[in-house]
């Protein structure tokens, strides 16, 4: 297939050339779904993960069986390599370095999927005007012994979300919507990704730090109403901080949740904590995850973002 460059004609193609920059859980999930849909998927990895992928390939569990994804594993990214979309799926403390490596690449559409409470000014300054598409995944899981085990977030909680910084529905985000949906990933476009990201941080830090504090799994926490109430109260405190800073609560389902009675909030949280997604993705217990959640929570409460 001939890959045609340019945003104006992206929608004429049904299959896309895609680079996943970062082969952790989220990057691997995207690679699996996009490749199953017949797209030309390249996965950029480093260090131990690169060695595993080069030796065994990208392995994932599906219906109790281990399957190998049809992807190309890359150990470097050339400035001259063109991709219809580049998805950057690294940790928050790695994002600026990753974007710096990609700034001279000729690809036009770079989708960042990382927790971000400080806004996108720094991202845009690195990449240049019009290239950035802020996003966040609705998925989670673990990689155990080289095998990806994952689940998508229940749609009533969070879909994969993305949008233009100016709030407009551009052709390229409509194409991205079709790409996700055709690959089996529930998704939606946000007209205010700045607010959406801040609200996501408020949500996920309250949940994960709440689970960490009890030293239990999400299923165990779901058995204790008092623990759930404390987590809900922390969540509402976070939302209050964001609201008082002048941001709307996004998306709408979180806005509705924020105004529900405490006991109903607790029951919704209990339902979430019993899901397969929560079991596999919330509060992994890793040192890096705890540190990231703690730092994000601290930044939120100390108002270290533009108002």
Helix (H, G, I), strand (E, B) or coil at 113: strand
> β-pairing, 160-162 with 65-68?
unpaired
Angstrom distance (rounded) from CA 68 to CA 66:
7
7-191 has which CATH code?
Answer: 3.40.50.720
Three-class DSSP category at 74: strand
Q: Are strands 59-62 and 40-44 parallel, antiparallel or unpaired?
A: unpaired
- For residue 278, name the pLDDT band (cuts at 50, 70, 90): confident
Q: How confident is the model at residue 196 (pLDDT cuts 50, 70, 90)?
A: very high
Residue 223 has pLDDT above 80, yes or no: yes
Please check the confidence at residue 7 and state whether its pLDDT lies above 70. Answer: no
The pLDDT-based confidence of 283 (bands split at 50, 70, 90) is low
**Residue 9 pLDDT class (50, 70, 90 cuts):** very low
Residue 121: the pLDDT is 93
DSSP string for residues in 143-183: EETTEEEEEEPPTTT--EEE--TT----HHHHHHHHHHHHT
Nearest in space to 50 (alpha carbons), one of 22, 77, 82, 83: 22
Contacts of 143 (CB under 8 A, 6+ apart): 24, 25, 28, 149
pLDDT at 142 over 80: yes
pLDDT of residue 8: 47
Q: Give the model confidence (pLDDT) of 230-269 as tens digits.
A: 999 999 999 999 999 889 999 888 999 999 999 999 999 9
Q: Can you give the C-alpha Rg of the chain in angstroms? A: 19
> Mean pLDDT across the chain, nearest whole number?
89
Q: ∠ CA 100-51-41 to the nearest 5 degrees? A: 60
pLDDT of residue 1: 31
Buried b vs exposed e over 165-198: b needs ≥16 C-beta within 10 Å? beeeeeebbebbbebbeebebbbbbbebbbbbbb
Flag whether pLDDT at 13 surpasses 70.
no
- Looking at residues 170-195, what average pLDDT do you find? 95
pLDDT at 11 over 60: no
Check if the beta carbon of residue 106 is closer than 8 Å to that of residue 80. Answer: yes
Question: Each residue of 59-77: pLDDT tens digit?
Answer: 999 999 999 999 999 999 9
How far is residue 72's CA from residue 70's CA, in Å, rounded to a whole number? 7
- Confidence band, pLDDT 50/70/90 cuts, at residue 284: low
Closest residue by Cα to residue 152 from 288, 278, 294: 278
pLDDT value at residue 307: 44
Closest CA to 88 of 96, 290, 11: 96
Residue 184 pLDDT more than 90? yes
Mean pLDDT of 109-124: 92
Other Cβ atoms closer than 10 A to 75: 11
Mean pLDDT of 265-281: 85
Angstrom distance (rounded) from CA 251 to CA 205: 17
């Amino acid at each position: 297939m001939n890959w045609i460059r340019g945003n104006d004609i992206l929608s004429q193609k049904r299959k896309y050339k895609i680079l996943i920059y970062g082969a952790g859980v989220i990057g691997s999930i995207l690679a699996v779904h996009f490749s199953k849909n017949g797209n030309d998927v390249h996965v950029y990895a480093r260090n131990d993960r690169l060695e595993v992928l080069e030796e065994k390939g990208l392995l994932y569990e599906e219906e109790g069986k281990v399957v190998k994804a049809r992807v190309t594993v890359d150990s470097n990214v050339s400035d001259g390599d063109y991709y219809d979309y580049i998805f950057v799926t690294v940790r928050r403390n790695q994002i600026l370095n990753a974007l710096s490596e990609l700034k001279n690449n000729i690809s036009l559409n770079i989708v960042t999927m990382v927790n971000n409470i400080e806004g996108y000014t720094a991202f845009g300054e690195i990449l240049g005007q019009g290239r950035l598409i802020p996003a966040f995944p609705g998925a989670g899981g673990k990689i155990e012994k080289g095998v990806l085990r994952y689940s998508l977030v229940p749609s009533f909680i969070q879909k994969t979300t993305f949008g233009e910084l100016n709030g407009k529905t551009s052709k390229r985000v409509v194409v991205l919507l079709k790409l996700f949906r055709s690959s089996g990933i529930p998704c939606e476009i946000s007209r205010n990704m700045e607010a959406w990201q801040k609200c996501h941080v408020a949500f996920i830090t309250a949940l994960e730090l709440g689970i960490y504090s009890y030293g239990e799994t999400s299923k165990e926490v779901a058995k204790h109403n008092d623990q759930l109430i404390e987590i809900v109260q922390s969540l509402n405190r976070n939302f209050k901080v964001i609201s008082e800073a002048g941001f709307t609560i996004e998306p709408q389902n979180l806005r509705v949740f924020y105004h529900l009675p405490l006991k109903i909030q607790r029951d919704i949280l209990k339902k979430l904590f019993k899901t397969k997604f929560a079991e596999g993705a919330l509060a992994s217990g890793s040192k890096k995850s705890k540190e990231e959640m703690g730092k994000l929570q601290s930044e939120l409460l100390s108002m270290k973002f533009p108002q």
